[in-house]
Chain A
Amino acid sequence: MKTAVTGEENALNKKDFVAPNDVRWCPGCGDYAILNAIQRTFPELGVPKEKFVVVSGIGCSSRFPYYMNTYGFHTIHGRAPTVATGVKVANPELSVWMVTGDGDGLSIGGNHLLHLIRRNPDVNVLLFNNRIYGLTKGQYSPTSEVGKKTKSTPVGSVDYPVNPLLFALGSESTFVARTSDTDMKHMVETFKAAHAHKGTSFIEIFQNCVIYNNKTWEPVTGRESKSEQSLFLEEGKPLVFGAERNKGIRVNGFDPEVVTLSENGVSESDLLVHNSKTSNPAYPTLLSQLNYPTFPTPFGVFRQLEGRQTYESAVDQQVAASKSKQGEGDLQALLTGSDSWVVE
């Protein structure tokens, strides 16, 4: 007889979530760090192990479920949001985590991602963004920079890239965050926040493809550049960054600008103060457009809106309301209908 293992009585630990299979990502792939972070996060969520379901599409990142000792479904290219929606609506008690990449989630599966986010089921979406197609060996992706030279763009890409966070905000996501495969502590914090949020949580993870797009995020998250090029969002705190913690983001009219504290009379009170709970989309939209190299790149929770009903609870509510209004369905009465006749 197997017994329940929960976060409280029999504390789960990381090992409980390690699947027996060999992990087959390339040595040095950023996916290892993300897997590690998830395996560290899950035991701390207070969710029984058997309630986790990890759903993915196709691509390197989408091999993720095979490495998690939970229920998992490796589906088809771009369609993970649909399967995740089906799982969550069918059984709202499950903790559903969806893993996708920039190609899977934003190219072939862009439409589904839009509809997942707008419906707002309580699904946590982890979008691994490495700005390249890895599993198909190095073609440009929808997040690749203009001019990017790849096997399919030998003289440079002419596609304007999609900004994942702006896409999520445009879909009126109730939870939008960004983290990086280089920052274990920040990943775990972000994943916990996503789990705590009731509704679809969208997390862009800067992830490094060591083979086809190595160091793509280095200018932002590298050891050398992190302090000057990364901006860590803290609720209620001014947007301050820099090795000396002496730079900040101020708004001039509608435009953000980088200012130096104590220069020209600038003080912390002039800076934007982080508020992830404002319902006005202007602020997270502004944040999502702070890009390298003009601005430091923000990390953390951009937006976290409470109060919008989750899709699965709305579906359940309608079922319950119908039952209470019409009574539990009577199959014989349904089949007989109101216009039957008797043949003697």
Chain B
Amino acid sequence: MAQAKDSFIEIESAVVRFAGDSGDGMQTVGERFTDSSAFAGNDIATLPDFPAEIRAPAGTLAGVSGFQVQFGSREILTPGDAPDALVAMNPAALKSNLPDLPAGGMLVVNTAAFKKMNLAKADYETNPLEDEDLRKKYHLVEIDFTNMTKEALAESPLKPTDKARCKNFFALGFMYYVYGRPLDTTLKFFQDKWGKRLPDLAEANTLALKAGFNLGDTMESARNRYQIAKAPVDAGVYRKISGNEALVYGLVAASKQAKLELLYAGYPITPASPILEGLSALKHFGVKTIQAEDEIAAMGMALGASFTGKLSVCATSGPGMCLKSEFIGLASITELPLIICNIQRGGPSTGLPTKNEQSDLLQSMFSRNGDSPIPIIAAHSSSDCFDCAIEAARIAITYKTPVILLSDLYIANGAEPWLIPNVSDLPDLEVPFADPNEDYVVYKRDPSTLARDQAIPGQIGLEHRIGGLEKNEEGGVSYDPNNHEEMTRLRGDKVNAIADSLPPSKVFGDVEGGDLLVLGWGGTYGAITSAVRNLRTEGFPVSSLHLRNLNPFPHDLCNILSKFKKVLIPELNMGQLSLLIRSKYLIDVVSYSKVQGQPFKVAELSNKILETIR
């Protein structure tokens, strides 16, 4: 029996990547590993990475699906630059992921999949496992997951093919052993998911998971085991949450806080569909959802609901935003509250539907005809999507305007622990509609917010007409040139007035200024903050600021930027925020671009920062 092998090596954090065929259940095991780690008290961040095709031909490079998780005893802000351990379920997964594994990394392979046909599909001429260099370079662990799973399930009534499909949990069990993860959350998952419906499957996966764990315990070759202490986080109740989940919850919370029914209209599109699906399951919160015939229709339905006084929401991705543009212009001129979420992905056009990018900022700013400024906010992490949904609702309702909320594929699909807020601490978002006891003037404005008075159909005496034609203050169609200029100016001033309601910006680092400010927005928060934190620890005079409000910018931004000798703006686009900052503040910022469908690595950001301050 094993005994000495149980000595753990204490480490601060680790990155594990599961990779296999898209039918191998890699996302599922990645999620379970994450749950277990979160439950164990580690901080976590995840990066699912899957192909656009649901089932690309099995075993091919096009069909490789991966899931990376970083977990640690310190604050974890990114899924990690490179894996410490790679689980490769077939040759294709090995081929496409091996370049990311640093020398000395742990490489766990399913030997059963390394047969002639699979090797050919992955363009291997010879079996890479027979390559001596591979053994020298990596800590290779060869396990026949397929057959060992079948053996473990010898007594199971499942069909042989179904038994073989349990091998992902066998592999997961083995990795649980290596990293000392508890099995409880996963066993509970089996029961919750299949316990009642397919008890044989729940039992088989339970056996596979335990067999994998026990294999680690009994394997002849001595194995290192790693231990990661609990992360020191604020006390409270936590859960794991993805960006899209957080957005769904934030929207429901906003509707409760505003005392407005939520109407969501959407059209299926990657990576925004989970929002439509998530809200559709929450009808008991009074949520109405419509799957529209197209992106345009979704926007029209939401706008119609806004007109009747509901909290209306659409979510889509870049191509859908293109289609919604004309309607966003109508929402702008009619000054109706509306939340439009853009879960960005690689563009242009269909682009990289399952890869990450933050390249729709300028689209958000300028995609409409005419002068039609729209408030824009961007979520910086998965859990921040919750707060951003509430903030978007606040701006939309208070200022009677469409609001664009930018998220991206990386934070939408990625997950992190979330300190669950107390509902009683959420802000009150209620804003009264027009008073039926007063004479109604359609474009009468609140002097502080410049928001117009909104009257909703069904109320006696407030009948009025709105539409895409320019109006005067009374709501009549007007072609008067001075009126048009005045209304255009007012719509712009109103959006700018939102800045009056923003809290002071928080600089991480030298609040009084210094050599370099790294200015970011959106999902790059984790990578930027990690890089700056590490460099500050090493004594470099670098700071960072992450913008939530991209239109209007916070009032104090100009002053903050002027306090730094240099401003570096890393973006997963060709320099969109850089363009806005340069044009608005006439500051010659340094733009750092990456458009590879992948997030920034901390290391590449650190290098760029060092290069910039030198």
Which A positions have Cβ atoms within 8 angstroms of B? 1-5, 19, 21, 48-51, 53, 55, 58, 65-66, 68-76, 79, 81-91, 93-94, 111-112, 114-115, 315, 318-319, 321-323, 325-329, 331-332, 334-344
Contact = CB atoms under 8 A, between A and B. Distances in A.
Contact of B465 (A4, A72, A84, A91): A72
B301 interface: yes
A341 B300 contact: no
Interface SS of chain B: mixed
B285 A87 contact: no
Given A55-B304, A339-B239, A79 B457 contact: no
Given A50-B460, A70-B463, A335 B423 contact: yes
A266 B285 CA distance: 64
Nearest to A94: B457
B307 A83 contact: yes
B285 A329 contact: yes
Interface string B465-498: 1111100000011000000000000000000000
Contacts of B574: none
B288 A315 contact: yes
B261 interface: yes
Interface stretch (B122-130, B194-202, B228-236): B228-236
Contact of B467 (A65, A84, A323, A334): A65
A82 B296 contact: yes
Contact of B422 (A48, A85, A332): A332
Contacts of B284: 319, 322-323, 325-329
A340 B238 contact: yes
Given A73-B304, A112-B293, A50 B461 contact: yes
Given A71-B457, A111-B293, A335 B300 contact: no
Contact of A331 (B256, B327, B330, B468): B256
Given A2-B461, A53-B457, A65-B465, A89 B288 contact: yes
Contacts of A21: 476-477
B613 interface: no
B8 interface: no
Nearest to A53: B457
Given A2-B436, A5-B460, A53-B457, A86 B239 contact: no
B185 interface: yes
Contacts of A3: 460
A334 B241 CA distance: 12
A334 B300 contact: no
B296 A73 contact: no
Contacts of A2: 436-437, 460-461
Contact of B312 (A50, A86, A321): A86
B447 to A, nearest CB: 25
Contact of B457 (A87, A112, A114): A87
Interface in B229-282: 230, 233-240, 249, 252-253, 256, 261, 263, 265, 282
A94 B458 contact: yes
Given A21-B476, A86-B290, 16 more contacts: A50-B461, A50-B463, A58-B468, A69-B463, A71-B458, A72-B467, A75-B303, A82-B298, A90-B261, A94-B308, A94-B458, A112-B293, A331-B252, A331-B285, A341-B239, A343-B235
Query: Which of B282, B302, B460 is the most central at the interface, judged by chain A CB atoms within 10 Å of its CB?
Result: B460
A86 B477 contact: no
Contacts of B460: 2-5, 48-50
A83 B235 contact: no
B565 interface: no
B249 to A, nearest CB: 6
B563 to A, nearest CB: 36
B514 to A, nearest CB: 34
B466 A73 contact: yes
A76 B468 contact: yes
A342 B417 CA distance: 11
Contacts of A86: 263, 265, 290, 300-308, 312
B285 A89 contact: no
B457 A83 contact: no
A47 B260 CA distance: 25
A71 B457 CA distance: 6
Given A79-B296, A111-B293, A74 B252 contact: no
Contacts of A73: 304, 307, 334, 465-467
B283 interface: yes
B142 interface: no
Contacts of B461: 2, 50
Contacts, number: 214
B310 interface: yes
B319 to A, nearest CB: 17
Contact of B235 (A65, A81, A344): A344
B420 interface: yes
B297 interface: yes
25 contacts: A1-B437, A2-B436, A19-B465, A66-B477, A73-B467, A74-B469, A79-B296, A81-B300, A85-B300, A86-B302, A87-B457, A89-B301, A90-B263, A94-B457, A94-B458, A111-B294, A112-B293, A322-B283, A326-B284, A332-B422, A340-B239, A341-B38, A342-B238, A343-B230, A343-B235
Contacts of A115: 292-293, 297
Interface in B390-443: 420-423, 436-437
A341 B420 contact: no
Contacts of A81: 297, 300
B434 to A, nearest CB: 12
Contacts of B476: 21
A321 to B, nearest CB: 8
A68 B463 CA distance: 10
Given A50-B461, A329-B285, A339 B235 contact: no
B254 to A, nearest CB: 11
A329 B240 contact: no
A335 B457 contact: no
B515 interface: no
B467 A75 contact: yes
Given A21-B477, A66-B465, A76 B288 contact: no
B388 to A, nearest CB: 15
A340 B420 contact: yes
A85 B465 contact: no
A239 B423 CA distance: 66
Contact of A85 (B256, B290, B326): B290
A51 B461 CA distance: 11
Given A90-B310, A329-B286, A334-B249, A82 B292 contact: yes
Contacts of A65: 465, 467
B299 interface: yes
B467 A82 contact: no
Given A326-B284, A336-B239, A83 B422 contact: no
Contacts of B261: 90
Nearest to A6: B460
A242 B23 CA distance: 70
A334 B237 contact: no
A91 B300 contact: no
B41 interface: yes
Contacts of A72: 464-467
A87 B306 CA distance: 8
A342 to B, nearest CB: 5
Contacts of B285: 328-329, 331, 334
Contacts of B235: 343-344
B353 to A, nearest CB: 23
B237 A342 contact: yes
A322 B334 CA distance: 34
Nearest to B439: A2
Contacts of B303: 75, 83, 86
